[in-house]
Structure 1
Amino acid sequence: MFHAASAQKYVDASTLTIIGRTCPMEGHPYYRVDTTRYRFDNATIRHYCGYPAGVAVLFTTDSRRIEARWTTAPRSYGWNMTPVLQRGMDLYVRENGVWTMAGAARPGLQDRHASTIVEHMDGQPKECMLYLPAWSELLTLEIGVDEGASVTPLESPYKHRVIVFGSSVTHGASASRPGMTYPARMSRMTGIEFVNLGYSGNCMLQPEFARLLAETDADAFLFDAFSNPSPKMIRERLDAFVATLVKAHPDKPLIFMQTHWHTAGNLDQEAAKFHRERINTADGMMRRLAKQYDNVYFLDGEWFFGRDAEGTIDCDHGSDLGYDRMISERLPRIRKILRKYGIR
């Protein structure tokens, strides 16, 4: 069913507060990274720079209903992710200091979308955070409200910023909706902004990414860096990648997470051999680097989605259950490190 929007007034979302961008791009308000400054040769990486995974629009409104109409660039839906994660949005409202989901903007089958997100509210001012599509370039976005209602930018609630660089797991596959990706959830849980810099299938310790991260200002960096590269790539690239970042951010914590066990390896012997070699390669090199550099940390352990194979969509990408387990295991260890640097 297509849920059409019928608001009486629309506001261009680009005039409101936008968070979650690593390197904003003029003329493209929802891009995570400026592709004129960072000219990646890989076309898929360039496309992903324009996918607003983890990007959110903040605003305050006293409207009784909130709607959206938006356009996305043409692309096919992925089979292992929900439509709302790929082209839709979800809205959170903050009450008494807690962000609560208020509704979802349900996408259509084409590239132009309109949806009622929430209605019949009490008309009191609401602090809102609208997470944008994780797997589509967002071309336009308007927020719809009642005639006479106000819509004003809301200041970001986050004082500290942690860049999360990683694979499809960081990008968001296969959370149920944009606000359920693990960086978004950890942001709401901690009051620390975990900025999503996930590049599905393309996080391979490339020098181009090392340069981007070296030139990015943040309080800390978190890495899901071992899910995409082969063991050979890790051996060839990891030392230089870490050295570049240590030189650029000598006093900032650089936290590397072990990749997860891919449950295809439970039965597929070739997959098991490959994934075990990758895990062991990352483990050995990161333990050495964590001793070599004072501010480099390694979070070991590959079972954070669970040993029962119920935490993924497709033996590879996390479900909401898998990300629950991941956050429960990883976040206390991450927060302990961040507190050493006054990040809380």
Structure 2
Amino acid sequence: MKTKKLSTRSYYKITPENFHVNGLLYYYENNNFYRLPVTQKYDEGLTRLTKFPAGAYLDFTTNSSSVGVNVTLRDKSYMPHMTATGTIGLDLYVKVDDKYVFMGTTKLDEAEFTYEYFKGIPKVYKEYRLYFPIYMELIELELILDKGAKIRQEERKKKQPKLVVYGTSIAQGGCVTRPGMSYPAILGRLLPEYEVFNLGFSGNALLHPEIANLISDVEDLKVLVMEVEANAGEVASTLQDRLEDFIKTILDKNPKLKIYLISHFPYSHTLFKPNLKAKHLKHKLFQEEVCNKYPKNITFIDGEEILKDLDYEETVDLIHLTDLGCYHLAKRLAKQISKK
């Protein structure tokens, strides 16, 4: 429930006219927090998922002694295997010595609420980052600061290189405990030279041609991370039929693009089901074969290898990565990307 507005606080509505929001490719065209253009038509799954602002965040600087939010969502949390803070929460970070430090998350399970992260800290300017919900449509957001406090946003970098993550529910953020712990969000903090965009779509990383076209048109796109096998590999021959065309569509317009293609992450049932293990191996070899056709552009990453040191402890349900899995994955990816 939202509380009554206080005379001791100032309220700032987050709109394209007032604030820039990072991580949304079509923020100004859409005039909302959707991740894909509203002018295009998509299948039912993508149409629903694009409304969830996974990976979006607001950077701002203020000297306020308190920071809070007024939030209106489409609904409250709804998934049995993911926390409310992970599904509908908003995380706040503050920059300390050039690193972002976690300052709190919205510990509520309501569609409308007011939340204060803290109060009573020194009134000196600090840089903050506010991450938006992973799995719920954000209808309206207000930032709440001290009455009389100053707020500003740093001037946007011109032609900042972009890093796009395209993938499954794992890329979208399932099933971390809060939005700042998705691996694209962590990548954004580890690689501040890039603006990171999350195009993870739960159950819908099906290599749609329209998504390839949208990615190919992203200005200043330098890096593309893809993990699609857990979706595309489960729908008939989608992976085999669409993967190379999807990649070729993007590379045709971005010949210098670096792509990192990740195969399936560890799945313990393959230890006891030979047919399942054989299927994963077949998909892995196929993806590796596609990557080998574009040695200057694509790096293949074995998903089982990159997380094997976690001994199958990295998921909530055998598939979806927890904070542990996402943090480990992001650290490994950042190291790989930084080599280029």
- Fold in common (TM above 0.5): yes
* Equivalent residues of 1:25, 1:34 under 8 A apart: no
Cα separation, 1, equivalents of 2:100 and 2:129? 8
Determine the structure 2 residue equivalent to 1:123.
123
1:225 aligns with 2:228: yes
How many angstroms does 1:325 deviate by?
2.5
Cα separation, 1, equivalents of 2:331 and 2:140? 36
1:244 aligns with 2:258: no
* Equivalent residues of 1:171, 1:197 under 8 A apart: yes
SS of 1:219's equivalent?
Answer: strand
Cα distance, 1:25–1:44 mapped onto 2, change above 3 Å:
farther
Sequence identity percentage: 25
Cα distance, 1:44–1:279 mapped onto 2, change above 3 Å:
same
* Equivalent residues of 1:35, 1:49 under 8 A apart: no
Cα distance, 1:114–1:3 mapped onto 2, change above 3 Å:
same
Counterparts of 1:167-246 in structure 2 under 5 Å?
167-191=168-192, 192-217=194-219, 218-230=221-233, 232-246=237-251
Question: Deviation per CA, 1:135-158, whole angstroms, max 9, x where unpaired?
Answer: 111000000011111122234579
Q: Which runs of 5+ in 2 are unaligned?
A: none
Determine the structure 2 residue equivalent to 1:317.
320
2:22 to 16, 19, 23: 19
Cα separation, 2, equivalents of 1:155 and 1:103? 26
Cα distance, 1:28–1:155 mapped onto 2, change above 3 Å:
same
Cα separation, 1, equivalents of 2:327 and 2:167? 18
* Equivalent residues of 2:165, 2:184 under 8 A apart: yes
Cα distance, 1:171–1:279 mapped onto 2, change above 3 Å:
farther
1:308 to 299, 308, 311: 311
How many angstroms does 1:27 deviate by?
4.9
SS of 1:326's equivalent?
Answer: helix
Question: Deviation per CA, 1:33-56, whole angstroms, max 9, x where unpaired?
Answer: 2121x311x222112111110100
What is the one-letter code of the residue matched to 2:297? N
* Equivalent residues of 1:3, 1:116 under 8 A apart: no
Cα separation, 1, equivalents of 2:54 and 2:11? 23
* Equivalent residues of 2:2, 2:112 under 8 A apart: no
Determine the structure 2 residue equivalent to 1:342.
none
1:29 to 29, 32, 43: 32
* Equivalent residues of 2:69, 2:142 under 8 A apart: yes
Cα separation, 1, equivalents of 2:277 and 2:156? 40
Give the count of matched residue pairs. Answer: 330
Determine the structure 2 residue equivalent to 1:78.
79
Output the aligned Cα RMSD. 2.3
User: Which TM-score applies when normalising by structure 1?
Assistant: 0.88
Cα separation, 2, equivalents of 1:288 and 1:160? 26
Cα distance, 1:21–1:27 mapped onto 2, change above 3 Å:
closer
Cα separation, 2, equivalents of 1:87 and 1:282? 34
